[in-house]
């Protein structure tokens, strides 16, 4: 065995290895693997490529990724929970600090106050946005947050039925179904009205009953429609002893009253939009906020950071209520989650702190404004945008006369991603349909070009 192999990421030199073997009174490193039966040993090289240096590696990745077709964010009209976001330089710069990047879960609070305080601030900022007092330090994404919220409602109420209102993102719905599948839960999805884009509240009366653990509603919904009568929904659910779980776009919360004020019990949502890059859909940031009721909180999943005091009476931060978690409670834990999305939560804390109330408000206002401008443009060209009457925030659907695939292709040729074909979901109501989302990069120019692409005007 030769020990002259050297890789820059390994901490030992040839001499180190020799002297350490000597200290261990063994002849070679293989002896440390002598307890692994020979039959289990690989005894050959793994079929992996050769080592590359940084230059080669950069060249390689650049050349592979050159096969992507890069589309700038102002020409992308996709959304549905995750959106192109301008990540402020300061967010990137602070996240690059290896003190945040290369640390782990703050098991030793005394040496990890930085991560703890930043996560506490994330929790507190989300708590103000949602109006709910307890927020965990992150879930994987909106999908798993929603799924875990529903499982939590089952534990809390000891009932087994869930009612879903209005149009919900198909991907999230799939995650929900995957998570609840083993638990014999009855999932009732109420249809929505094509003219309002919402589930009629009357329909809730029939379906929300004594067996219902929770209702789940997304505001805005997947097609952009906004339910404005949260108060009544909460009343109906609470009358039957069911919890109300609301899925949100956190930016929208800067325009509407906090769900907590309406009596909503749990808010889940996607925090990517709060200062995190899209990265083809991950990492994301599952928001999870709960009403400040001890009985409810004891059932919540995930890490929670709390304020604390030191022995000498100074304010500090630490992980709290860990007796809910898997490392202590094992199979009786409220969830299996361990590693979460802490760094994206910290990014969001920095982002919200930078924007402040004013910045959040003007960003959200500009999104709602621009989406209405786009709708107006489209209506002028004869589209029904959107084909329902409820308010909408930053996205809506547009019924089309031709297959959206044709328009998407046409758009791509012009360097645009015009939206998402959601015909399969809404066919019975609106026929061919395109889902269109506004982001902060869109200017009037792109809105107009989008309209032309949809209308198939002269230029196209």
Ligand X SMILES: Cc1ncc(COP(=O)(O)O)c(C=O)c1O
Residue ranges that bind ligand X, judged by CB under 6 A? 338-339
Taking the complex as a whole, how short is the minimal distance between the CB of residue 458 and another protein, in angstroms?
25
Q: Which of 187, 372, 414, 455 lies at the binding interface for another protein (CB under 8 A)?
A: 372
Taking the complex as a whole, how short is the minimal distance between the CB of residue 107 and ligand X, in angstroms?
11
**Per CB under 8 A, does 76 bind another protein?**
yes
**Per CB under 8 A, does 254 bind another protein?**
yes
Q: 41, 49 in Cβ contact below 8 A?
A: no
| Stretch of 49-57, 207-215, 238-246, 448-456 contacting another protein, by CB under 8 A | 49-57
CA distance 256 to 129: 9
**Per CB under 8 A, does 413 bind another protein?**
no
**Per CB under 8 A, does 186 bind another protein?**
no
Q: Binds 223, which of another protein, ligand X, none (CB < 5 to 8 A, cut-off by type)?
A: none
Taking the complex as a whole, how short is the minimal distance between the CB of residue 138 and ligand X, in angstroms?
13
Q: Binds 254, which of another protein, ligand X, none (CB < 5 to 8 A, cut-off by type)?
A: another protein
**Per CB under 8 A, does 344 bind another protein?**
yes
Give the number of C-alpha atoms closer than 13 A to the C-alpha of residue 158, restricted to the C-beta side.
Answer: 0
Q: Which residues of 279-304 are buried (b: 16+ CB within 10 A; e: fewer)?
A: eeeebbbbbbbbbeeeebbebbbbbb
- Give one word for 348, left, alpha or beta, with left for phi > 0 and alpha for psi -120 to 50: alpha
CA distance 402 to 148: 39
Q: 168, 218 in Cβ contact below 8 A?
A: yes
Q: Which residues contact residue 420 at a Cβ distance below 8 angstroms, ignoring those fewer than 6 apart?
A: 78, 80, 434, 435
**Per CB under 8 A, does 328 bind another protein?**
yes
Place of tokens 């009855």: 186
**Per CB under 8 A, does 115 bind another protein?**
yes
**Per CB under 8 A, does 129 bind another protein?**
yes
CA distance 334 to 300: 6
Q: Which residues contact residue 342 at a Cβ distance below 8 angstroms, ignoring those fewer than 6 apart?
A: 105, 115, 119, 137, 138
CA distance 291 to 287: 14
Select 134 or 240, whichever has its Cβ closest to another protein: 134
Select 333 or 373, whichever has its Cβ closest to ligand X: 333
Taking the complex as a whole, how short is the minimal distance between the CB of residue 313 and another protein, in angstroms?
9
CA distance 67 to 238: 53
Task: Map residues 187-216 to x or -, x wherever contact with another protein holds by CB under 8 A.
Answer: ------------------------------
Q: Binds 68, which of ligand X, another protein, none (CB < 5 to 8 A, cut-off by type)?
A: another protein
Q: 134, 128 in Cβ contact below 8 A?
A: no
Q: Binds 365, which of another protein, ligand X, none (CB < 5 to 8 A, cut-off by type)?
A: another protein
Q: Which residues contact residue 229 at a Cβ distance below 8 angstroms, ignoring those fewer than 6 apart?
A: 201
| Stretch of 87-95, 157-165, 237-245, 451-459 contacting another protein, by CB under 8 A | 87-95
Task: Map residues 421-460 to x or -, x wherever contact with another protein holds by CB under 8 A.
Answer: ----------------------------------------
| Stretch of 18-26, 199-207, 209-217, 448-456 contacting another protein, by CB under 8 A | 18-26
**Per CB under 8 A, does 104 bind another protein?**
yes
Q: 414, 453 in Cβ contact below 8 A?
A: yes
Select 68 or 339, whichever has its Cβ closest to ligand X: 339
**Per CB under 8 A, does 127 bind another protein?**
yes
What are the beta bridge partners of residue 247? 218, 268
Q: Which of 151, 214, 266, 374 lies at the binding interface for another protein (CB under 8 A)?
A: 151
Q: Which of 67, 202, 401, 458 lies at the binding interface for another protein (CB under 8 A)?
A: 67
What are the beta bridge partners of residue 268? 247, 288
Select 24 or 328, whichever has its Cβ closest to ligand X: 328
Q: Which residues of 345-357 are buried (b: 16+ CB within 10 A; e: fewer)?
A: bbbbbbbbbebee
Contacts of another protein in 271-300 (CB under 8 A): 277-284, 292, 294, 297
Contacts of another protein in 382-411 (CB under 8 A): 391, 408
Q: Which of 166, 197, 250, 258 lies at the binding interface for another protein (CB under 8 A)?
A: 258
CA distance 100 to 118: 10
**Per CB under 8 A, does 99 bind another protein?**
yes
Q: Total residues at the site for another protein (CB under 8 A)?
A: 195
Q: Which residues contact residue 92 at a Cβ distance below 8 angstroms, ignoring those fewer than 6 apart?
A: none
Taking the complex as a whole, how short is the minimal distance between the CB of residue 206 and another protein, in angstroms?
25
CA distance 443 to 446: 6
Select 240 or 370, whichever has its Cβ closest to another protein: 370
Is the bond leading into 386 cis (omega within 30 degrees of zero)? yes
């Amino acid at each position: 065995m030769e020990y002259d192999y050297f890789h820059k990421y390994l901490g030992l030199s040839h001499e180190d290895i020799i002297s350490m073997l000597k200290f261990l009174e063994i002849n070679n490193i293989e002896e440390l693997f002598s307890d692994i039966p020979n039959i289990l040993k690989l005894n050959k090289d793994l079929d992996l490529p050769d080592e590359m240096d940084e230059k080669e590696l950069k060249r390689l990745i650049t050349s592979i990724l050159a096969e992507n077709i890069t589309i700038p964010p102002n020409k992308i009209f996709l959304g549905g929970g995750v959106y192109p976001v301008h990540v402020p330089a300061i967010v990137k710069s602070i996240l690059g600090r290896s003190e945040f990047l290369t640390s782990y879960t703050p098991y030793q609070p005394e040496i990890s106050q930085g991560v703890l305080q930043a996560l506490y601030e994330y929790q507190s900022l989300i708590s103000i946005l949602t109006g709910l007092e307890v927020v965990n330090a992150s879930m994987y994404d909106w999908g798993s947050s929603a799924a875990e919220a529903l499982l939590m409602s089952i534990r809390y109420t000891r009932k087994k039925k869930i009612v879903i209102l209005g149009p919900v993102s198909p991907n999230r719905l799939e995650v929900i179904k995957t998570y609840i599948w083993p638990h014999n839960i009855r999932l009732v999805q109420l249809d929505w009205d094509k003219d309002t884009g919402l589930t009629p509240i009357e329909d809730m009366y029939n379906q929300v009953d004594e067996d219902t653990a929770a209702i789940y509603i997304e505001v805005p919904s997947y097609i952009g429609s906004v339910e404005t009568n949260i108060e009544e929904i909460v009343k109906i659910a609470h009358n039957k002893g069911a919890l109300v779980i609301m899925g949100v776009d956190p930016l929208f919360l800067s325009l509407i009253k906090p769900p907590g004020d309406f009596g909503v019990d749990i808010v889940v949502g996607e925090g990517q939009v709060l200062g995190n890059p899209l990265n083809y859909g991950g990492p994301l940031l599952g928001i999870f906020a709960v009403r400040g009721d001890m009985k409810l909180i004891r059932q919540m999943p995930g890490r929670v950071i709390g304020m604390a005091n030191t022995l000498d009476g100074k304010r500090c931060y630490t992980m709290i209520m860990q007796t809910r978690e898997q490392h202590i409670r094992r199979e009786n834990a409220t969830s299996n989650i361990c590693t979460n999305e802490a760094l994206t939560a910290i990014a969001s804390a920095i982002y919200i702190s930078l924007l402040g109330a004013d910045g959040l408000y003007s960003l959200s206002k500009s999104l709602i404004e621009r989406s209405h401008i786009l709708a107006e443009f489209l209506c002028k060209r004869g589209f029904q945008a959107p084909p329902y009457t409820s308010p909408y925030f930053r996205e809506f659907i547009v019924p089309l006369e031709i297959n959206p695939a044709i328009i998407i292709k046409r758009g791509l040729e012009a360097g645009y991603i015009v939206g998402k074909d959601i015909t399969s979901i809404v066919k019975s109501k609106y026929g061919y349909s395109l889902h269109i989302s506004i982001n902060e990069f869109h200017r009037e120019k792109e809105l107009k070009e989008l309209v032309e692409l949809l209308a198939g005007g002269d230029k196209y």
